[in-house]
């Protein structure tokens, strides 16, 4: 019995099939990873920081911050400190009695929010292209 089929050995056919299968698997794997990265990028929203219902600041959480930025929001003799970093925003400190806003921790996904009722400060994450996020990363 001959192991040649039309000039190509069975071993070469197996190697060729293996190479083709490996290329298909690598392509599908690469495409899957690329899709996940793109979905994560779009899942990161815009942080809107408002006081008394008026949006004062908007920050793109997809931006890379070498050093997290801090915003001080005074409320009479009280204050709130907000930190914006790469992919997140959080209330770092607040002079309210219960500190629920600080205990909320970091948020980053559209629909999440941090609210300090005593000081009427609200941080909301909105999807890109919605809300008041027209002036991204603009401090007004």
Of the candidates 29, 39, 62, 32, which has an alpha carbon nearest to the alpha carbon of residue 133?
A: 62
Token pair recorded at residue 110: 């559209």
pLDDT at 138: 43
% of the chain at pLDDT higher than 90: 44
Number of alpha helices (DSSP H) and beta strands (DSSP E) in the chain: 2, 9
- pTM comes to 0.63
% of the chain at pLDDT higher than 70: 81
pLDDT greater than 80 at residue 140: no
Mean pLDDT of the chain: 83
Mean pLDDT, range 49-56, rounded to an integer = 93
């Amino acid at each position: 019995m001959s192991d040649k089929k039309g000039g190509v050995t069975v071993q070469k056919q197996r190697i060729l099939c293996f190479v083709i299968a490996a290329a298909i698997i690598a392509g599908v794997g690469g495409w899957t990873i690329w899709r996940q990265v793109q979905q994560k990028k779009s899942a990161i929203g815009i942080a809107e920081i408002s006081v008394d219902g008026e949006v004062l600041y908007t920050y793109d959480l997809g931006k890379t911050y070498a050093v997290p930025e801090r915003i001080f929001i005074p409320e009479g003799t009280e204050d709130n400190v907000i930190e914006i970093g790469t992919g997140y925003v959080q209330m770092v400190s607040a002079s309210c009695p219960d500190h629920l806003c600080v205990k909320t921790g970091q948020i980053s996904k559209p629909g999440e929010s941090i609210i300090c009722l005593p000081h009427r400060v609200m941080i909301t994450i909105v999807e890109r292209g919605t809300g008041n996020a027209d002036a991204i990363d603009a401090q007004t």
